[in-house]
Amino acid sequence: MAYHLHQDRRLYYMECGDGIPVLLLHGICNSGRAWLPQLPALNAAGYRAILPDLAGHGASASLNQPYGVPELAADCLALLDHLRIAAVYVVGLSLGGMAAQQLALAAPERVRSLTVANSFCSTTGAEAQALLDDWRQTLRGEDGPLRRLEASWPRNVNAAFRASDAGRQLYLQWHAQAAQADGPSQAWVCEGLRCFDISGRLSAIRAPSLYLSAECDAVSPPEIGRWMAGQVTGARHISLAGAAHVANIDSADAFNAALLAFLQTH
């Protein structure tokens, strides 16, 4: 079954592989398909990948009001209940990393380990608020998701990947996905993110944690990931050389190696 219901909202997810479950949470304006480069490595290592489309994204239900990180984390818990999974390895990038941290705080007994990539623990600063306002305005306009993708692609992946055959093919795929996306719903997520701030609660995270940064990330620079890791007892921080914001895409081999090395020790 590709859908589950939570609070009368129909939410889409995919599963791939057998073994130990890993929940992979995508970034804003994307979908679970963003994790395709991780699936062969995870499956070969004996992991079952669970890939939800977050509310307002992909094939999941649309939104008509602000939808923040606590709501996204609650959807993830409902999915685990639906799948009858007691505890899971949680991996999140950008928006997905915010939801992953929230999940680790809200239901620590459900999180076997936490991997947070190129993410944030707060969006209440002036720079983040301005970025969210810009995204929200763009997404509510005509062809908003397309215009956001076209503007953000050069910042989200590194130049080498953009110039590669794989990069050009992926851009075409994501462009088609953006053309079908629900811009107003994604704008409601941007609205819900405006009050996100767990910066004072990171020390309460108890799950073994890995914070991944990307050397060339202009959205969430490595110092943010380094600082967050420093607040979580025992957390590791790794910066991926040459990678940009969507590092699991443009630097998939390095990302997979770091992720698997961490998962296999927890």
Alpha-carbon distance values, 35 to 16, 49, 223, 248, 251 (Å): 11, 9, 24, 7, 12
| Nearest residue to 131 (alpha-carbon basis) of 101, 102, 97, 94 | 94
pLDDT single digits (tens) 66-90: 999 999 999 999 999 999 999 999 9
Angle among Cα 68, 51, 249 to the nearest 5 degrees reads 95
> Hey, where are the domains in the chain?
3-264
Model confidence at 1, in pLDDT bands (50, 70, 90)?
low
Percent of the chain with pLDDT over 90: 99
| Nearest residue to 176 (alpha-carbon basis) of 154, 137, 150, 155 | 150
User: Residue 199 has what pLDDT?
Assistant: 98
pLDDT single digits (tens) 217-231: 999 999 999 999 999
Is the pLDDT reported for residue 42 higher than 80?
A: yes
Q: In CATH terms, is domain 3-264 a member of 3.40.50.1820?
A: yes
